[in-house]
Amino acid sequence: MGFVIESLYVSLVIICFAYFLVLLQYSRNGWQFIGLDEKKLPSVSIIVPTLEEELNIRKCLESLLAIEYSNKEIIVVDGGSKDKTVEIAKKYPVKVVVDENLPIGWIGKSYGCHVGYAASEGEILLFTDADTTHTPESLKIAVSHLLGSESVLFSIFPYQKANKWYEFLPSFLYFLSFLAGGPRNEINNPYSKDSFLASGQYMMFTRKGYLKLGGHLAVSNSLVEDVALAKLCKEKELKLNFIDGVKIVKTRMYPEGFSQFYRAFRRSIWGGLITLTPWRIMFVIFWLIYFLLAPYFLIQSFIFRPSWMWFDYTIGVFVNVGLYLAYALAVYLYWIKRGDTKWYYYLFFPITQILNFIVIGAAIITGLRGKTVSWRGRYYSTKDEEKIKPEETLKHIPSSKRVKTEKLVEL
């Protein structure tokens, strides 16, 4: 029996790394630039949805205002913050829109983005989070690539900053999303419909492309609006482009405490599970099983001679040490250029990543039970309900406060 279990474990590891190596082989950034005429830069509307972001908004706006791009407007859309977010934002030369009315069937961030779209005038729309900071040249680079790649949706994964101990934990969860999204070459192929991923921290559209997709109205009740928009691109065979942009945009997402990290990922993990491709989720499950088995077989190898290494006890120990370290090394190498890291978080991953495993378990239990998840005082259902018709979403709001959706509804 021991021989069978150990053989299955080794087979599982081989399958995990075979899939991982395929992802690496077909995941190239491939920036595609075109020259921009400085006198005729396309107009860009930068939309920043906010809710209780007083710790982040100042640094974000200062970086956006410092961007070297003359034809831009910045729009802050606040969902009714009780802190100083709006007060701080109004000190800067940006347009500030406050809309506390969250329509039925909407997730707060998607509605904020939709309000920003309605207030914008740009030929290009950039939706970015309040916890991001941008380099001065970032917008020219992004616009050049958006137009050069002829994409409807261009999204980049920013560099992830971390200071507190729990802020180093998401690397493991982002590694799993890498497994679930598919190789970048396939993500960026409009006809490969089972590979898609995007980051809501930085999403850029041509205005025409945004209208073709149906905008955030089309994903109004999705817990992961970024992944849902990426999936919608593939369903409509429109060009999606997702690239690492760690040199031009940075973010620090959870400075307020571990509970902020827990609530955010409990929401997004379940949203990802019901949105991403099932057969790719299967490989995520394989890696989770590998995570559980690696420390078990490592400890066992020091106590009992592995039956599948009957010819030498020492080799059995070395093999299990190698399989344990291989797991740690895979996650570490994936993350080292994408975010702040500490090597011992990976060497001792059974201790550090058990917290992530708890978050994953909580997300699955919450979702299966159809319970609500919360974010900044708002509660959202995890039920995969039928989408409310666009024309019904705003009926409970007085007509004077409704956001125009006619163009999107018609599509």
Domains of the chain by start residue, with CATH: 33-173+183-257 (3.90.550.10)
Token output for 86: 């709006």
Cα–Cα distance, 102 to 81 (Å, whole number):
13
Find residue 50's DSSP bridge partners. Answer: 78
Token output for 387: 């989408």
Give the pTM: 0.91
Name the residue type at position 295: P
The number of C-alpha atoms within 13 Å of 304 and in the hemisphere containing its C-beta is 9
CA 358, 364, 366, 371: dihedral to nearest 10 degrees?
160
Q: How far is CA 149 from the centre of its chain?
A: 21
Task: List, in order, residues 6 or more apart from 297 with CB less than 8 Å away.
Answer: 6, 9, 306, 320, 323, 324
What local confidence, expressed as pLDDT, does residue 384 receive? 56
For residue 51, which of 127, 160, 131 has the smallest C-alpha distance?
131
Cα–Cα distance, 201 to 338 (Å, whole number):
14
Sheet strands (E) in 158-222: 159-160, 202-206
Cα–Cα distance, 117 to 399 (Å, whole number):
18
Token output for 283: 């490989």
Sheet strands side by side (includes 132-134): 132-134, 249-251, 159-160
Cα–Cα distance, 73 to 94 (Å, whole number):
7
Place of tokens 């006890």: 313
Q: What do you get for the CA distance between the two ends of the chain, in Å?
A: 60
- Please, are residues 120 and 210 in contact by the beta-carbon 8 Å criterion? no
Q: What are phi and psi of 311, to 5 degrees?
A: -80, -15
Cα–Cα distance, 217 to 43 (Å, whole number):
23
Cα–Cα distance, 264 to 319 (Å, whole number):
37
Find residue 357's DSSP bridge partners. Answer: none
Task: List, in order, residues 6 or more apart from 358 with CB less than 8 Å away.
Answer: none
What local confidence, expressed as pLDDT, does residue 34 receive? 87
Cα–Cα distance, 262 to 360 (Å, whole number):
10
- Please, are residues 225 and 198 in contact by the beta-carbon 8 Å criterion? no
Mean pLDDT by 10 residues, the chain (411 residues): 76 96 87 87 97 95 97 96 96 96 89 96 97 97 95 97 94 96 94 95 97 94 95 95 95 91 91 94 96 91 62 74 95 95 93 91 90 76 58 53 49 37
Instruction: Specify whether the backbone of 367 is left (phi greater than 0), alpha (psi in -120 to 50) or beta.
Output: alpha
Token output for 395: 């009926």
What local confidence, expressed as pLDDT, does residue 105 receive? 81
Q: What are phi and psi of 376, to 5 degrees?
A: 50, 50
- Please, are residues 49 and 22 in contact by the beta-carbon 8 Å criterion? no
**Cα dihedral 119, 124, 130, 135 sign:** negative
Give the helix/strand (H/E) hosting 373.
Answer: strand 372-375
Q: What are phi and psi of 30, to 5 degrees?
A: 60, 55
What local confidence, expressed as pLDDT, does residue 406 receive? 44
Cα–Cα distance, 81 to 194 (Å, whole number):
38
